[in-house]
């Protein structure tokens, strides 16, 4: 069998595909290219390919129709519908494997980092030092024979110590919008900070949230009571623009807002207005309604906003995890077993994967 792999993969799982499963591998990872492969490039590369392990290329019905030997699509993402036409694959009897929760740990870690970077002004302090706002003539410590008596930068009005003070997390209330795998991992980490936790998720019941130390509430109550609101739900018709002007108005004036999920879940202009009008103490964002952010975007001008370029899931372990999940499921299909993670189970009916199908 022949496999085209355009997703990033680790050596161990590439070797499993090749040595254990007997595949001939054409490995073209996105990390070694400047952009995604075009449809025309894919159509050429997929000739005679049985298994397509895709990262971010678009896999349309047209692409599938040109790949006459294609039997399996394995997508390294948690939501394969983002770039794979699931319905078209189902119509053609092609199962779509995927890797749910592959980055839940990395995104949860990143979320805690963003909360601390925002509330304790870590990112802002870094920026102010690197732009020479708080640099000057150094004074040696008295213990080392110098003249400095106490804190080099001072503690009076105008000093970093005074201007960049922020709240401790202990005793604060954290509101988690979306209590799936990422939200649960955030709750596990936040519990160590001694926060009270509230959660919103129509698909997770009260008892299940309680197991993670989270009290289930409605969105309005979460907004009203939370010192920090962090978003971890997928984009659906129900969640698009879920948090807008009304929700930001409900949040306390000293609250912080964190979005590591998708830009479409919030009304970004409403957030900018809330920050400009001092309705919120600050925000930390990894996702936006348009990406990349254009030059001169107002979010880049606001001093109380931490911005990162959609990297919450960019941990080294994520590649190992999705590669292992996909390889396990490809191996299951080849052995005639049902894969654990398949987006279109109906495509498995009567399926036999192998050289003779």
CATH number at residue 108: 3.40.50.720
Q: Domain limits at 44?
A: 2-102+315-348
Other C-beta atoms lying within 10 Å of the C-beta of residue 294:
9
Residue range 241-252: mean pLDDT, rounded: 98
Domain shared by 210 and 320, yes or no:
no
In this predicted model, what pLDDT tens digit does every residue of 101-150 receive, in sequence order? Answer: 999 999 999 999 999 999 999 999 999 999 999 998 887 777 767 776 66
Domain shared by 98 and 108, yes or no:
no
130 occurs within a structural domain: no
328 occurs within a structural domain: yes
**Which value, in Å, is the radius of gyration of the alpha carbons in the chain?**
24
Domain shared by 291 and 191, yes or no:
yes
Instruction: Find the catalytic residue in 102, 262, 321, 322.
Output: 262
Q: What is the pTM of this model?
A: 0.93
Domain shared by 6 and 36, yes or no:
yes
In this predicted model, what pLDDT tens digit does every residue of 161-201 receive, in sequence order? Answer: 999 999 999 999 999 999 999 999 999 999 999 999 999 99
291 is a catalytic site residue: yes
Q: Sign of dihedral through CA atoms 105, 113, 248, 222?
A: positive
pLDDT in the model for residue 149: 65
The pLDDT of residue 335 is above 80? yes
157 occurs within a structural domain: no
In this predicted model, what pLDDT tens digit does every residue of 208-243 receive, in sequence order? Answer: 999 999 999 999 999 999 999 999 999 999 999 999
DSSP per-residue string spanning 80-145: GGGTB-HHHHHHTT--EE--TTTTHHHHHHHHHHHHHHHHTTHHHHHHHHHTTSS------BGGGT
Instruction: Find the catalytic residue in 47, 291, 317, 345.
Output: 291
pLDDT in the model for residue 357: 40
pLDDT in the model for residue 141: 74
Residue range 61-69: mean pLDDT, rounded: 97
Q: What one-character DSSP code corresponds to residue 2? A: E
Question: Cα–Cα distance between 355 and 357 in angstroms, integer?
Answer: 6
In this predicted model, what pLDDT tens digit does every residue of 23-63 receive, in sequence order? Answer: 999 999 999 999 999 999 999 999 999 999 999 999 999 99
In this predicted model, what pLDDT tens digit does every residue of 272-318 receive, in sequence order? Answer: 999 999 999 999 999 999 999 999 999 999 999 999 999 999 999 99
310 is a catalytic site residue: yes
Domain shared by 174 and 288, yes or no:
yes
316 is a catalytic site residue: no
19 alpha carbon, distance to own chain's centre: 32
Closest CA to 351 of 98, 97, 100: 97
Closest CA to 99 of 265, 339, 335: 339
């Amino acid at each position: 069998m022949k496999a085209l792999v355009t997703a990033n993969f680790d050596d161990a799982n590439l070797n499993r595909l090749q040595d254990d499963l007997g595949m001939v591998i054409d490995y073209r990872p996105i990390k070694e290219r400047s952009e995604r492969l075009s449809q025309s490039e894919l159509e050429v590369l997929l000739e005679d390919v049985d298994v397509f392990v895709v990262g971010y290329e678009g896999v349309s019905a047209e692409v599938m129709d040109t790949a006459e030997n294609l039997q399996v699509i394995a997508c390294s993402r948690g939501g394969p519908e983002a770039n794979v036409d699931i319905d078209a694959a189902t119509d053609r009897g092609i199962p779509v494997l995927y890797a749910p929760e592959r980055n839940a740990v990395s995104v949860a870690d990143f979320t805690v980092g963003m909360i601390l970077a925002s509330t304790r002004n870590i990112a802002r302090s870094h920026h102010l030092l690197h732009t020479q706002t708080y640099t000057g003539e150094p004074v040696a410590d008295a213990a080392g024979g110098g003249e400095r008596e106490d804190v080099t930068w001072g503690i009076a009005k105008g000093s970093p110590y005074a201007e960049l003070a922020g709240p401790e997390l202990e005793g604060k209330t954290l509101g988690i919008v979306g209590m799936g795998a990422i939200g649960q991992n955030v709750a596990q980490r936040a519990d160590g900070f001694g926060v009270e936790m509230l959660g919103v998720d129509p698909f997770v019941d009260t008892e299940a949230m309680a197991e993670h130390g989270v009290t289930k509430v409605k969105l309005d109550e979460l907004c009203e009571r939370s010192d920090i609101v962090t978003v971890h739900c997928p984009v659906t018709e129900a969640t698009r623009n879920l948090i807008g002007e009304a929700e930001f108005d409900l949040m306390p004036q000293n609250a912080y807002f964190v979005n590591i999920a998708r830009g479409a879940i919030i009304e970004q202009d409403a957030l900018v207005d809330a920050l400009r009008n001092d309705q919120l103490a600050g925000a930390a964002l990894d996702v936006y309604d348009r990406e990349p952010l254009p030059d001169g975007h107002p979010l880049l001008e606001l001093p109380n906003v931490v911005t990162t370029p959609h990297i919450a899931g960019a941990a080294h372990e994520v590649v190992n995890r999705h590669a292992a999940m996909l390889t396990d499921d490809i191996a299951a299909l080849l052995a005639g077993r049902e894969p654990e993670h398949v987006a279109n189970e109906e495509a498995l009916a009567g399926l036999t994967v192998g050289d003779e199908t």
